[in-house]
Structure 1
Amino acid sequence: MKGLTNKRIAVAADRRADAIQNLIENMGGTSISFPSQGRQRLNEEVSRQNISDYLTQSYDWVILTTGIGARTLADSAYELGCQGAFIEKLNKDQLAIRGSKTIDWLKENELQPSFIAEDGTMENLLEKLKEKLDVNNNPHVFLQAYHQDDAKLKKDLEKLGCTVYLSKPYSFEPPIEKTVLQLKKKIKEQTIDAVVFTSKTQVINVFQDLGARASLTESFNDGVLAVAVGKVTAKELESHGIEYVLQPSKPKMGTMVVEMNRFYQNRTISAQ
């Protein structure tokens, strides 16, 4: 029997939600979509200014934290007619990279990073960067950040003695409140078996209401399986007191669903 047979799985993802739902249903499950990310909003004017500043200033390090951010900057460079200069400068600069999608973008443009966060987290990236920074020379850093973490990341780098240029080429609008409330209701009532999260933002949006956090955590610890696509998302779930978070060995959506299917298969075998 397929592991997800008779399982009701909520999907909090926006992007590629259809593909995740199809995989779940192919493995016998019932999927329900509760998009909790919010619409992506490109800050085109900001991105163009970021490109102009990057090309006219010198930086000791360039930190790219998301594939979306890197692609948005590259698109702005194309619109400005300087994509070649942008890629050429990146090729000469020291690149610190986080995230599999960012790595994919680098490969597409034949760029080599100086180092990559091994576990996909900013904590790991900053630890590795500490070993390489020449703090005595006030290193200048171009930081492409994610809007919910930008202030903290900038502050952490400044504590290391860096002068930081903050690039925010995109952000996310709040998700539809009714959709998030419906998901929270399903979790609290335990009328779903699992919730699939594919980003830290989705977790933040679901747990945003202080008054609901304890009951959500209780439901996750009492039968609703929390599923994360990777370590960053899993860490955010764990920060809310969730004792067990299922995550794949590789941060891929397909691998995540396969791992969830195996989890329920093993549970069925153990119960026999």
Structure 2
Amino acid sequence: MSDTLPLSGFRIGVTAARKVEEQIALLQRRGAEVEWAPALSVAPNHVDEASLRAATEQVLAQPVDMLLATTGIGMRTWFDRAEQWGLLPDLLDRLRSAEILARGPKSVGALRRRGLRELWAPASESFDDVLQHLRGRDLGGLRIVVQEHGQSLSMAAHALRRQGAEVLTVTVYRVEAAEDPQPMFKLVDLIADRALDAVTFTAAPAVAAVMQAATSTGRRDEVVAAFQADVVASCVGPVTAAAFEGWGVPTIYPDRSRLAAMVKQLEHELPARRAGLTIELAGGHQLLLRGDGSLDTVLLDGVEVRLSPTPGAVLQALVANPGVVVSRQAMLPMLPSGTAGSEHAVEMAVARLRSALGTATVQTVVKRGYRLAVAGS
């Protein structure tokens, strides 16, 4: 490959099991060396016909007040199975009178294909934002149907029940792990040894699979540390990125949740990180980060600013996606060991970062977290 290609000299791990040929080709055409380790099974998502039919009959038993649709493939599969059982007309009648909240455009498309219309969908395509939309509402007495994606949404169901709702989860399919774990174990070693520049993720269950493999091999902490410092966790969208929050891993993802957009972002992100990254801040200020990824020293408007590890860890989380809100809970695991494990510790670290870079550099987003005040935000 020519050295002029944007990803020449970069080694990228790919965890996808489907459409993987397309992703690998996109990366290799840009000069990248690719390490492929499928995190999930290439077989179709497993559908438990008996359980799905029983759940469908439960939905039909009483009126439905609200439907939370989370995935396009899940809604399509549910409707297709209901059609095979002769239950589709009754199911659509039940759902037609319900308030429908859809997580993103794919679930919206599946609903509209069957003549159903969503009342609301978040621009973020995040299920957490669907739940946030419902927080504070009186859900007492409402019967809510939650269409699960490949992983359990039992915690979300419990949260809705605490608001007074009767919740029925419909498990359409489950995502199975890869049949051969050896490539994943190799990928974990490459991440922990910081032998990769980035790893791509196109589904939240793939994140869980990588972290499970890292735990099984005893390298979980090393993997987390590598993602926090040297290896870029590149996600196709905010839903996949959200799976990393509990691990304190900063992620990048494109504005549009599309494979080509994710690769295009890496095309700019990795060379910028190697060369040094310049961020245009609000108010005409400029922040320059070193090419080696170290944040102990940065340049603000050409003036060197030294940061201790705690505010440096906060800046690390914020610069991973400049202008994007990062929650206190997501920042907490990124703080240096020995830091008090509470959100107050995050607040103190943010205060120290503001003291070093200026109070307007970090914005507080009420009830959500913090973001870097970039130009145009």
TM superposition score normalised by structure 2: 0.66
Q: Would you say how many aligned residue pairs link Structure 1 and Structure 2?
A: 268
Q: Deviations over 1:220-263 (max 9, x none)?
A: 23322110111122222232122x31211111111111111121
Q: Deviations over 1:46-69 (max 9, x none)?
A: 222233332332111011112222
Q: State the match for 1:233 in structure 2.
A: 240
Is the aligned partner of 1:253 residue 2:259?
Answer: yes
Where 2:63 maps in the other structure, the secondary structure is coil
For structure 2, the residue ranges without an aligned partner over 5 or more in a row are: 277-290, 292-377
CA distance, structure 2, for counterparts of residue 151 and residue 17 of structure 1: 30
Is the aligned partner of 1:158 residue 2:165?
Answer: no
Shift of 1:101: 2.3
Decide which of 51, 56, 60 is 1:51's aligned counterpart: 56
CA distance, structure 1, for counterparts of residue 82 and residue 148 of structure 2: 18
CA distance, structure 2, for counterparts of residue 4 and residue 91 of structure 1: 49
Contact 1:48 1:73 in 2 (8 A): no
Q: State the match for 1:67 in structure 2.
A: 72
Decide which of 191, 197, 206 is 2:201's aligned counterpart: 197
Is the aligned partner of 1:182 residue 2:189?
Answer: no
Q: Which amino acid aligns with 1:54?
A: V
Q: Deviations over 1:23-82 (max 9, x none)?
A: 112222222221102352112222222333323321110111122221121111121123
Shift of 1:156: 0.8
Structure showing greater Rg? 2
CA distance, structure 1, for counterparts of residue 274 and residue 211 of structure 2: 30
- Within 5 Å, which residues of 2 pair with 1:56-135? 56-130=61-135, 133-135=137-139
CA distance, structure 2, for counterparts of residue 123 and residue 238 of structure 1: 12
Shift of 1:89: 3.8
CA distance, structure 2, for counterparts of residue 32 and residue 135 of structure 1: 47
Q: Deviations over 1:197-229 (max 9, x none)?
A: 112211111112173221001222332211011
Contact 1:41 1:173 in 2 (8 A): yes
Contact 1:158 1:164 in 2 (8 A): yes
Contact 2:40 2:175 in 1 (8 A): yes
Identify the structure with bigger relative contact order (alpha carbons < 8 Å, sequence gap 6+): 1
Q: Which amino acid aligns with 1:221?
A: Q
- Within 5 Å, which residues of 2 pair with 1:126-145? 126-130=131-135, 133-136=137-140, 138-145=141-148
CA distance, structure 2, for counterparts of residue 128 and residue 188 of structure 1: 38
Shift of 1:134: 4.3
Q: Which amino acid aligns with 2:131?
A: L
CA distance, structure 2, for counterparts of residue 47 and residue 227 of structure 1: 34
Where 1:171 maps in the other structure, the secondary structure is coil
Distance change (3 Å), C-alpha of 1:109 and 1:2: farther
Q: Select the structure that is richer in helix.
A: 1
Q: Deviations over 1:115-137 (max 9, x none)?
A: 11332222211121235x5434x
Identity %: 25
Shift of 1:110: 4.1
Distance change (3 Å), C-alpha of 1:107 and 1:266: farther
Where 2:46 maps in the other structure, the secondary structure is strand
Is the aligned partner of 1:172 residue 2:175?
Answer: yes
Where 1:255 maps in the other structure, the secondary structure is helix
Decide which of 227, 230, 247 is 1:223's aligned counterpart: 230
Shift of 1:169: 1.3
Q: Which amino acid aligns with 1:216?
A: V
Distance change (3 Å), C-alpha of 1:57 and 1:7: same
Shift of 1:7: 1.7
Contact 2:65 2:97 in 1 (8 A): no
Distance change (3 Å), C-alpha of 1:107 and 1:15: farther
Q: Deviations over 1:76-110 (max 9, x none)?
A: 11211233443344333211111342123234334
TM superposition score normalised by structure 1: 0.89
CA distance, structure 2, for counterparts of residue 191 and residue 268 of structure 1: 14
Where 2:247 maps in the other structure, the secondary structure is coil
Contact 1:2 1:265 in 2 (8 A): no
* Aligned-pair Cα RMSD in Å: 2.2
